[in-house]
Amino acid sequence: MLNAYDILETIRMIQDECLDIRTITMGISLLDCIDSDINKACRKVYDKITKKSKDLVKVGADIEKEFGIPIINKRISVTPIAIVSAACGGSPVLFAKALDEAAKAVGVNLIGGYSALVQKGFSAGDRELIESIPEALSVTERVCSSVNVGSTKTGINLDACKIMGRIIKECAEKTVDKACFGAAKLVVFCNAVEDNPFMAGAFHGVGEPDCMINVGVSGPGVVRSALSKYPEADISEIADIIKKTSYKITRIGQLVGVTASERLNVPFGIVDLSLAPTPAVGDSVAHILEEIGLERCGTHGTTATLALLNDAVKKGGVMACSRIGGLSGAFIPVSEDAGMIDAAKSGALTVEKLEAMTAVCSVGLDMIVVPGDTTPDTLAAIIADEAAIGMVNSKTTAVRIIPAIGKQVGEELDWGGLFGCGPVMPLKKESASKFINRGGQIPAPMQSLKN
């Protein structure tokens, strides 16, 4: 039987501590939309997405009301478009427009999958798609793009790193009027996952079924609040409290995912066990680390506390749901986390520290604003560094970095809403151009030889 304490705890989590379902993401395969005629292919893409997801937003809203749990985003991920567009030639931007129109028609706020997987080299369609990303992200509103440039199995495609350094810069330049927002919709991955529900890096992998529902939970505020009740607890007790809280948060994700999949008549995929922050007060991952005992996120001890947090979130969540997937880990986007923004502004949090943090949590250098005069080769070197961490540690890493065109350290970019605002963070001035321009493939590490 339910007791009053449990009921009031749940209500408090939702009302005061920002417990929510961050996203219900419908993954849709577009493999059956491939056609040598690009216009036909785009029509098939539009038709399939709008047919499969026509009830997604309504079902999400119904569940939100019945369970009393806010569901912040309803989104769609699709098969990497480079695979779909390979057969037709022509500018893949038409696909981006079709995705954008489909997203608007069904009312989802973002659609992911304008993507290419080039970890071992470029196949037909990959280069065209990558070169079209800046235009695609500037002429569309809701399309998100990602490119996988490395994996533990294949090593790192350094040519792709170099290209992506330039593409990121171009994305920012083409969207200067929108605070360089184009670059915020582009993620460069190592070890990209096929069932990630979170944007901007979501795509529907080719190994996935035709259509699937994946859920991403959130709740940094709930974890912080739970910890604040035990100021004298030792660190094992802290891990225990996080595990218990994570279990409760994840159970809600499982319930919402199963219910949505039943109502949409689409198989349920995975719950992504992530603590996804927002810029809202009380919804910050950095504040959890500070609650554990750091004066400011980014100082010495940050990596250790984050490792503990990330591990405990997974241990608590594993038992709470039937299948786990996606990125599953604490997110550390700078602009989307009030505590990270403050830490970056104060100078306690640097890009180098963030890089170290990505070795122990999901996912990578995320929503970091850098000076507008950063060279493409420096961006490429940042991508290569981050990909190396992912490759060697057999984990997903990513780079979503925004060059603030025309701005310098001390200024900031402000997008508002869930994307927040980010101060321009300093980078090293010394060049890595010679390394980047060597090109070729960084060989896969020994860890790849598991068979």
Partner 1 sequence: MRAVITVVGKDAVGILAKISGICSEYNANVIEVTQSVLQDMFAMIMLVDISKLSIEFGALSDKMTATGDEMGLKIHTMHESVFNCMHHI
Kindly state the smallest distance separating residue 72's Cβ from partner 1, in Å: 17
CB 24 within 8 A of CB 71: yes
Q: Which is nearer to partner 1, 40 or 244 (CB)?
A: 244
Contact (Cβ atoms closer than 8 angstroms) between residue 110 and residue 144: yes
- By C-beta, is 44 or 74 nearer to partner 1? 74
CB of 251 or CB of 345, closer to partner 1: 251
Cα–Cα distance between 214 and 107 in angstroms, integer?
Answer: 18
Q: How far is the CB of 308 from partner 1 (least distance, A)?
A: 23
Q: How far is CA 57 from CA 72, 103, 419, in A?
A: 11, 11, 21
Q: How far is the CB of 214 from partner 1 (least distance, A)?
A: 18
Taking the complex as a whole, the smallest distance from the CB of residue 317 to partner 1 amounts, in Å, to: 13
d(C-alpha 86, C-alpha 45), whole Å: 14
> What CA–CA distance (Å, rounded) separates 266 from 260?
8
Least Å distance, CB 320 to partner 1, is: 9
CB of 302 to partner 1, least distance (A): 30
Task: Output 244 or 428, the one with its CB closest to partner 1.
Answer: 244
Contacting residues toward partner 1, per CB under 8 A: 2, 4, 6-11, 14-15, 62, 65-69, 248, 251-252, 254-255, 319
Q: What is the 3-state secondary structure (H, E, C) of 34-82?
A: CCCCHHHHHHHHHHHHHHHCCCHHHHHHHHHHHHCCCEEEEEEEECCHH
In the complex with partner 1, the residue whose CB is nearer, 23 or 254, is: 254
> Is residue 146 within 8 Å of 118, Cβ to Cβ?
no
User: Of 62 and 131, which has the nearer Cβ to partner 1?
Assistant: 62
Q: How many angstroms separate the CA atoms of 196 and 327, rounded?
A: 6
**Largest interatomic CA distance in the chain:** 67
Measured CA to CA, the distance from residue 165 to residue 143 in angstroms comes to 20
Q: What burial class does residue 260 get, using C-beta atoms within 10 Å of its C-beta: 0-12 exposed, 13-18 middle, 19+ buried?
A: buried
* Residue 281 beta carbon to partner 1: minimum distance, rounded to whole angstroms: 19
Measured from the CB atom, is 63 or 200 closer to partner 1? 63
To partner 1, the closest distance from the beta carbon of 338 in angstroms equals 25
275 strand-pairing partners: 330
Smallest gap from Cβ 312 to partner 1, in A, equals: 18
User: Across the strands, what pairs with 420?
Assistant: 416
Q: Which residue, 88 or 255, is less far from partner 1 as judged by CB? A: 255
Nearest to 156 by CA among 198, 210, 119, 193: 119
**Do 250 and 317 meet the contact criterion of CB atoms below 8 Å apart?**
yes
Report, in Å, the least distance between residue 331 CB and partner 1: 22
Which is closer to partner 1, CB of 66 or CB of 232?
66
Place of tokens 């980078």: 427
C-beta closer to partner 1: residue 85 or 254? 254
DSSP character at residue 375: -
Dist. CA 300–CA 304, nearest whole Å: 9
CA distance 276 to 421: 16
Question: Which residues, in sequence order, are CB contacts of 62 under 8 Å at separation 6+?
Answer: 263
